[in-house]
Amino acid sequence: MGLLHRFVARRAPDILQTEIRLLHRLGFVRPPQAVQWIATSACDLACPHCYSKSGRRADGELTTDEARRLVIDELVRLDRPALVIAGGEALLRGDFAEIVEYAHRCDVPWALHTHGGHVRRWIDVFRRHTPQMVAVSVDGPRAFHDEFRGRKGCFDAALEAIVLLRQTGCPEVVAGTTITRHNADMLADMLPTIINSGAHSWGLHLTTPEGRAAGRPDMLPTPAQLRRAAAFARRMRAVFHIELDDEWGGAGGDDCFYRDDRFMCGAGRFSCVVSATGELMPCTTTDLAESQGSIRRQPLSRLWAERFEAFRAPAKGALEKAQCFDCWLQTRNGHSCRAAAFADRGDPFGKPCSPQTEVAVS
């Protein structure tokens, strides 16, 4: 036992690589670890950085029955990965409690992305069926957050949601900040608020030039801002649990200083996204060209098994590629998410973005 553990720990990358190859050759696919479901496109805020132009409910959103049959029942068939409910604003779905109740009955763990404004309304649901994780958006200090999201009181609602969720016993409440050009330099100002909010961790995301943000190039942070934000996060990780999320890509040998687990894009490999209308996507993108099929036409479990070929094909040095080149925008554009998103302004981590790239070199 002990020897095996030692061996596994020491040779973990080799074992993982061999396993990926073996699975691929035999036509086996591991079940996903998490499936995100965009429960609705409806949202009562109009954030300019929204990747999905959320606002109105989309035509043909999954009904309650479809959510049960096509999503949750299928997750049971896939060994019950976590169901991550997102939006829009997922808490605007009137059947939210029903769906969570059903997931709970099926023993499917769930998590939620929310702006926090409606947590109080559903607090009994959170108490009865505590989610594994909830991410609450916090975009900046109070004045900035409220102005950015277009509604006064949003900031207080988000912080209140964090407190309420903590009180329900939710094991991981994450404050999530999408970095834009306007808030990138506010991180030092925000940190004490985030820490004192009671959040377990702080996730830093990058604006994706899609949806509403696609028409706002002025929202994209500059390379200098990204470099500063990364440098700041790296230092503050010594004090608080801060994570640079996948949109940032990998930082090669320095990755361990920016996140707890080494960067590896899970798109199509250990996670996927079901859009509001039932399209199966590799990750949170609204680009229908990335759709792997509709779960209304084919079961989610079969789509998961048979699609995502481009994401799963092992190649020589796959693990190293996974560190940096392997993410959804890479699949589409031949660059990492970050480099593609900020192509005209250069890569904040320097070019070429390879596993050996020096990170945040001044």
Q: Write out the binding residues for other proteins, residues 256-275 only, by CB under 8 A.
A: 256-257, 260-262
Least Å distance, CB 54 to other proteins, is 26
By the rule CB under 8 A, 199 interacts with other proteins: yes
31 is a contact residue toward other proteins (CB under 8 A): yes
User: Which parts of 321-360 interact with other proteins (CB under 8 A)?
Assistant: 355-360
Contact assessment for residue 112 and residue 86, using Cβ atoms and an 8 Å cutoff:
yes
| Dist CA 39 CA 54 (whole Å) | 11
For the four alpha carbons of 160, 130, 102 and 134, in that order, the dihedral sign comes to positive
Cα(100)–Cα(90) distance, rounded to whole angstroms? Answer: 11
Residues of this chain, 39-98, that bind other proteins according to CB under 8 A: 77-79
Q: For residue 104, what are its two tokens?
A: 């709970």
Grouping H, G, I as helix, E, B as strand and the rest as coil, residue 90 is helix
Q: Does 27 bind other proteins (CB under 8 A)?
A: yes
Task: Please report how the helices 187-197 and 154-167 are oriented relative to each other, as an axis angle in degrees rounded to 10.
Answer: 40
Are 186 and 177 spatial neighbours (Cβ–Cβ below 8 Å)? no
Q: Which of 69, 142, 212, 345 binds other proteins (CB under 8 A)?
A: 142
Report if residue 189 touches other proteins, rule: CB under 8 A: yes
Rule CB under 8 A: choose which of 123, 186, 264, 310 binds other proteins: 186
Task: Tell me if 28 contacts other proteins by CB under 8 A.
Answer: yes
- Between residue 284 and residue 323, which ones bind other proteins under the rule CB under 8 A? 301, 304-306, 316-317, 320
User: Least distance (Å) from other proteins to the CB of residue 146?
Assistant: 12
Site string for other proteins, 200-219 (x = CB under 8 A): xxx-----------------
Q: Give the nearest distance from C-beta 198 to other proteins in angstroms.
A: 3
Closest-CA residue to 38 (of 90, 82, 111): 90
Residues from 109 through 128 that contact other proteins (CB under 8 A)? none
| Closer residue to other proteins in complex, CB, 277/354 | 354
- Do the beta carbons of residue 54 and residue 87 sit within 8 Å? yes
Q: Return the DSSP state at 299.
A: -
Both tokens assigned to 323: 């560190």
Question: How would you list the strands of the sheet with 201-206, edge to edge?
Answer: 242-244, 201-206, 173-179, 133-137, 110-114, 82-86, 34-38, 271-274, 280-281
CB of 284 to other proteins, least distance (A): 22
Minimum Å distance from CB 172 to other proteins? 9
> With binding defined as CB under 8 A, does residue 159 bind other proteins?
yes
**Least Å distance between CB 222 and other proteins?**
8
Residues 6+ apart with CB under 8 A from 344: none
Q: How far is the CB of 95 from other proteins (least distance, A)?
A: 28
